[in-house]
Amino acid sequence: PAKLAQVAALEAGAGVSYLQADGGVLFAHLGAGLGATAWSLATPTQPKFQAFLPTQGYWSPRVLVQGKTAYLPSGWYGVQAFALNP
């Protein structure tokens, strides 16, 4: 698109290293293996906090969403799975 319009602002807190949107959920990845927060985008103009996803000290490069489940790679701890309700 030639022009993008901002539809909402999200105060995700200090330490957010990057954002990822997938499957109707916005993931705010926290720095240095602290985890990620999940925000429902069912109403994009009003993101709603859904969950905190701990990474147990492992920095996860991304969350994979398959259907209504988010998979979070967690290094030595394997892959964690979280149910989503966007």
Task: Please state the rounded mean pLDDT for residues 27-37.
Answer: 80
Q: Is the pLDDT of residue 12 over 80?
A: no
CB 56 within 8 A of CB 74: yes
Sheet holding 16-22, edge to edge: 16-22, 25-30, 35-40, 48-53
Query: pTM of the full predicted structure?
Result: 0.74
What is the DSSP secondary-structure string of 24-39? TEEEEEETTTTEEEEE
Mean of the per-residue pLDDT values for the chain? 80
- Greater model confidence, 15 or 71: 71
The structure tokens 């916005």 sit at: 26
